[in-house]
Chains A and B, each alone.
Chain A
């Protein structure tokens, strides 16, 4: 099937929002990683905003950018793809479990679930539309795109895909060495004429695309959500073509794209 891309959100070092990212990806501006600004999800009520962790904030930040307004977001099912959840909170909790009496904080506990950002998103837009939170490790972006497409193929008109990952704290980092945080949001529509259009198939004989810029390539391989970069570049360049994104080992997602 073909589907349409109607909105994009990006947050990564040096890619603070789609307008900046688009200019860099089409070569109109150079890429240099810069520290992330503090992200404050504007649509969250005060209590949840206070409790939001960095991964929650990044996931909601790109969702907000992709959907533009809460009204547009209501009724749209959402897929949250993250390879490993919030390892900062897990680290804190594992240390707390070693303290006498094990004083686990309720807010930390509910922030530790893999679906915390999805839960905060539903609260932010005050909506009952379903969400799913998934992982396929390094294949999480492609897995999320497949799941969102499945929702559209099943009769949905729109779906939101949010893919995000944040590097782990020092204790866990050697076992999962992500080199940068990254979040991307794609608002998708079943109508391919609604925006840039995508059609895709899974293949076993294709090598994944790489980025020409060495820093962007470092970002792409350093964070599972950043595997989306070749697709984002295709959307930025607004030329028809095909990108190949990695899926599970030995498999790739070939995306044929055309501009709006």
Chain B
């Protein structure tokens, strides 16, 4: 496929704000997880919480968008000169020719949770300060990014659970190919809320300690929050790092458990390789979806080994970030970008003893290397799978 250049990238997570902080944290095998202290949640679990969100409300003309989710998005848009890069892109393309594709799974539902709490009982009106369209509604994250950046082109919110902000890359590629836009802001944001904490708890998928992907004692996920964005443009033949392939598939099996033989996961990975015109041997590093549940890691291990064998360097970075759900795709695309840009293989934070039944070659600690091609997996609830292929672009 025609590659899309990552001409600008940004990320905010529990590890901090901006690319430099994340590079340093990954190189030092840091984990940003902490014991859950979100609202009045009484759960034995760890979370990846972004510090300071409570202190930075959205005010002024965009105040209607104020909610935790959009605040997180705003923090990312203000990092790494991203907003300035978009301003320059607007000069180059026109504000109506830059698409916006944002992934999120729960959007601003935390705003609605607080409204129901303020109401008290089960009946009666929600408080007058409740908004909905610009906070909780599924389009709100994309609408906010578009408004904040002053863009006026094609705009879509994608909500496919844990693959949301990986699938935005595919959507952007199609829109650019179809001529709907000439460049695109892609990314995602998801924020802590009681629904996902208690929902995953009900599914018995929350680990009581920091999640430890691929570990023999792994016991589930740690939920995190994050926001990240990339500006994608057509490859100019001037080098850089780009999206050279993507693959999407479904599991068609169960709403909250992956297909045991990993066929959907395998299909997504192979489709990404096909689209990128690469053999598995040409991939230097696989960033696993690696949530730390017994089922995901087992199934993903099988699918990865079937395609890449047991000698390909892989790792899961969810021990560092937590599982940021709808933001996981962009988080891990940025991790892949950092790995290529700075020359290292990220490790698998919190894993201490790898499960001997899993056969993928999982890198435990960050290792200097020169990966030129990275595959990143995001396999979502409801069986929505997406794999992204990133690579150094030729001059």
Contact = CB atoms under 8 A, between A and B. Distances in A.
B105 A114 contact: yes
A95 B121 CA distance: 8
* Chain A interface size, under 10 / 10 to 19 / 20 to 34 / 35 or more: 35 or more
B255 interface: yes
Interface in B351-366: none
B116 A129 contact: no
A176 B195 contact: no
A122 B267 CA distance: 14
A85 B117 contact: no
B250 A128 contact: yes
A31 interface: no
A97 B248 contact: no
B35 interface: no
B27 interface: no
The listed residue with most A CB atoms (<10 A of its CB), out of B105, B159, B385, is: B159
B382 A132 contact: no
B179 to A, nearest CB: 8
A174 B385 CA distance: 36
A211 interface: no
A3 to B, nearest CB: 11
Given A102-B198, A104-B201, A110 B255 contact: yes
Most buried by A among B125, B137, B158, B160: B160
Contact of A135 (B138, B249, B380): B138
Interface stretch (B80-88, B126-134, B332-340): B126-134
B279 interface: no
A97 B198 contact: yes
Contacts of B139: 83, 135-137, 140
B149 interface: no
Interface stretch (A7-15, A33-41, A149-157): A149-157
Contact of B203 (A106, A146, A147): A106
Given A97-B194, A116-B255, A130 B248 contact: yes
Interface residues of B, number: 66
A118 B163 CA distance: 13
B130 A115 contact: no
Of B126, B199, B251, the most chain A CB neighbours within 10 A belong to B199
B277 to A, nearest CB: 14
Contact of A171 (B125, B167, B173): B125
B316 interface: no
Contacts of A134: 156-159, 171
Contact of B137 (A120, A132, A135, A147): A135
Interface in B153-204: 154-161, 167, 170-171, 173-175, 177-178, 180, 194-195, 198-203
A146 B71 CA distance: 29
Nearest to B43: A102
Given A118-B384, A175-B131, A104 B267 contact: no
B252 interface: yes
Contacts of A84: 137-138
Contacts of A259: none
A134 B130 CA distance: 23
Interface string A85-108: 100001001110110001111100
A34 B161 CA distance: 35
Given A97-B195, A113-B105, A132-B167, A125 B382 contact: no
A50 B201 CA distance: 23
Contacts of B161: 113-115
B111 to A, nearest CB: 11
Contact of A131 (B143, B198, B250, B263): B250
Given A110-B381, A114-B105, A133 B158 contact: yes
Contacts of B133: 137, 175-176
Contacts of A172: 112, 126, 132
A140 B157 CA distance: 10
A39 B161 CA distance: 26
A186 interface: no
Given A94-B116, A134-B158, A176-B137, 9 more contacts: A48-B255, A98-B117, A114-B160, A130-B248, A136-B142, A136-B157, A154-B178, A171-B116, A171-B126
The 6 closest A-B pairs by CB, nearest first: A119-B382, A114-B159, A150-B174, A109-B199, A130-B248, A135-B138
